[in-house]
Amino acid sequence: MSSNPICAPATPLLPSAVALVRVSGVGLANALAPLLVLPEPRLASLRTLHWDGFRERALVLFFPGPASYTGEDVVEFQLHGNPRLVRRLLGHLATLGVRLAEPGEFTRRALLNGKQDLLATEALRDLIAAETDTQIRLAQARAGAQPDWIAKARGALAPWMARAEAAVDYGEDEGISLNLNDLMLELAPLRARFHVEQARARAARHLRDGLKLALVGRPNAGKSTLFNALAGEDRAIVTEIPGTTRDVLEVRCEWRGLPLRLFDTAGLRDTEDLVERLGMARVGPVLEAADLVLHLWPAQDPGLDPVIRDALAPFAGKTLEIRTFADVAAAPGVAIAAHLGDLDALEAALKDRLLGGLAPDACLGALATDRQGALLDDLAGQLDLLAGLPPGCPPELPASLLQGAWGLLARLTGEDRAESALDALFSGFCLGK
């Protein structure tokens, strides 16, 4: 990729107090010379910029490379937040040979110049997209240092890779052999750590993406009451008339550290009411799309209506039974009384089911994207295969598994420089990032 100068607004093109325009490239002092003399590095300086009849007083910051975000020279202009003025400045920069950046191009350069790794880059994207406090905290934790287990894994794998290679290359002639027993003994803590990280990553992925929860059950089961209690606001109409909710209602919220997308649905029953039937027809697609179906079943109901049993049967694997009206009758399992705020059992059940019993804070620093999770699974799989090798197998087998694990670590951190992964990543970035 070339390092010709690029520019972009780093703030939205909307009327605002201040707009930030960023420029990055090698040798910016020359490129920008017609516009200004660059100020002292890292000191905010007021400059008057003249172009096309404009006379803009802007605060200018200069970060000489390589000690900058991208690793190149970076100049930031803070000007008045008029979108038209910002576009005019960008247009003028183009005449100086500073083209408009592609989405994520600043960060792409930071990555290619070794200023940050792929994990940090993905964390940055998540930080900008995060919608809840938990999601922000998780992304921030990932944007910092690389997880410690990556360096540990490299340290543990490297000597064994060397030994395995030596056994492959010189084994028979020189009498060098690989002791699989010793290898697995030494790599056992790493393998265990991978399994721990897999569990953390699964939980972190749920937190990152938010959980789609469908609330279903018979009319008057307390679905809308729970919907409102979790959302922390009075969004759905609640009455004691069965069949109150007809349309699907959706709300995004964070409840007790869990980012949720909740769907309230029409109560399911055999009915002649046309509107109610239309409402019930909308429940199926919600069940399909849900990560987890919460089946609300009043504690006083002895059995299940066949309509509900049939509707939920295809989703048995992702259904959680919740007994509502716990204040009215006793029932085994997860029992709640949402209108009283008695929801601790639900919190425990959700965290158990979705986070494997981990607290949201225990996921800080865990891998979280689909890409990362898949590579971690492959990595753990590689060591599981190693552990399953029969004694006396040819050294080529462990050697290739160790090499494979090494390569997966490089893919994880982006050191393999795979362009396809980068293209997919940066298409999700905003312009000035």
Ligand X SMILES: Nc1nc2c(ncn2[C@@H]2O[C@H](COP(=O)(O)OP(=O)(O)OP(=O)(O)O)[C@@H](O)[C@H]2O)c(=O)[nH]1
Residues making contact with ligand X (CB under 6 A): 217, 219-225, 238-240, 242-245, 266-267, 324-325, 327-328, 337-339
Smallest separation (angstroms) from ligand X to the CB of 345: 12
* Residue 225 binding partner per list ligand X, Mg ion, none, with a CB distance cut-off of 5 to 8 Å that depends on partner kind: ligand X
By beta-carbon proximity to ligand X, the closer residue of 179 and 239 is 239
Smallest separation (angstroms) from ligand X to the CB of 297: 11
- Give the binding range for Mg ion (CB under 5 A) out of 130-138, 188-196, 218-226, 355-363: 218-226
The pair phi, psi for residue 13, each rounded to 5°, is -80, 75
Fill in the DSSP letter of residue 50.
E
By beta-carbon proximity to Mg ion, the closer residue of 32 and 253 is 253
Show the DSSP H helices in 144-176 as ranges: 148-174
* Residue 419 binding partner per list ligand X, Mg ion, none, with a CB distance cut-off of 5 to 8 Å that depends on partner kind: none
Smallest separation (angstroms) from ligand X to the CB of 121: 44
Smallest separation (angstroms) from ligand X to the CB of 340: 7
By beta-carbon proximity to ligand X, the closer residue of 216 and 425 is 216
- CA 179 from centre of chain: 40
What is the rounded CA–CA span in Å between residue 208 and residue 425? 16
Fill in the DSSP letter of residue 19.
E
Smallest separation (angstroms) from Mg ion to the CB of 280: 12
Show the DSSP H helices in 233-273 as ranges: none
By beta-carbon proximity to Mg ion, the closer residue of 70 and 244 is 244
Show the DSSP H helices in 98-220 as ranges: 105-112, 118-129, 133-143, 148-174, 180-209
- Lookup result for tokens 């469908």: 214
What is the rounded CA–CA span in Å between residue 153 and residue 130? 30
Q: Does 324 bind Mg ion (CB under 5 A)?
A: no
Q: Which two tokens stand for residue 18?
A: 């201040």
Element (H, E) at 6: strand 6-9
- CA 291 from centre of chain: 16
Task: Specify whether the backbone of 230 is left (phi greater than 0), alpha (psi in -120 to 50) or beta.
Answer: alpha
Q: Which two tokens stand for residue 303?
A: 């059995």
330 exposure class (CB count in 10 Å sphere: 0-12, 13-18, 19+): exposed
Smallest separation (angstroms) from ligand X to the CB of 81: 46
- Give the binding range for Mg ion (CB under 5 A) out of 104-112, 152-160, 242-250, 358-366: 242-250
Decide if 211 contacts 291 (C-beta within 8 A): yes
Q: How many CB atoms lie within 10 A of CB 406?
A: 17
Decide if 46 contacts 121 (C-beta within 8 A): no
Q: Does 224 bind Mg ion (CB under 5 A)?
A: yes
* Residue 243 binding partner per list ligand X, Mg ion, none, with a CB distance cut-off of 5 to 8 Å that depends on partner kind: ligand X
CA-based nearest residue to 56, from 95, 27, 30, 84: 84
Smallest separation (angstroms) from ligand X to the CB of 227: 7
Size of the site for Mg ion (CB under 5 A): 4
What is the rounded CA–CA span in Å between residue 95 and residue 374? 45
By beta-carbon proximity to ligand X, the closer residue of 182 and 247 is 247
By beta-carbon proximity to ligand X, the closer residue of 206 and 261 is 261
Decide if 320 contacts 215 (C-beta within 8 A): no
By beta-carbon proximity to Mg ion, the closer residue of 68 and 224 is 224
Smallest separation (angstroms) from Mg ion to the CB of 254: 22
385 exposure class (CB count in 10 Å sphere: 0-12, 13-18, 19+): middle
What is the rounded CA–CA span in Å between residue 180 and residue 173? 19
Please select the residue that binds Mg ion; options are 70, 245, 324, 372, rule is CB under 5 A: 245
By beta-carbon proximity to ligand X, the closer residue of 202 and 223 is 223
- Give the binding range for Mg ion (CB under 5 A) out of 60-68, 197-205, 223-231, 380-388: 223-231
* Residue 240 binding partner per list Mg ion, ligand X, none, with a CB distance cut-off of 5 to 8 Å that depends on partner kind: ligand X
- Give the binding range for Mg ion (CB under 5 A) out of 60-68, 133-141, 216-224, 332-340: 216-224
* Residue 12 binding partner per list Mg ion, ligand X, none, with a CB distance cut-off of 5 to 8 Å that depends on partner kind: none
- Lookup result for tokens 């919740």: 322
By beta-carbon proximity to Mg ion, the closer residue of 223 and 411 is 223
By beta-carbon proximity to Mg ion, the closer residue of 107 and 224 is 224
* Residue 328 binding partner per list Mg ion, ligand X, none, with a CB distance cut-off of 5 to 8 Å that depends on partner kind: ligand X
Q: Does 220 bind Mg ion (CB under 5 A)?
A: no
Smallest separation (angstroms) from ligand X to the CB of 82: 49
Binding site for Mg ion (CB under 5 A): 223-224, 244-245
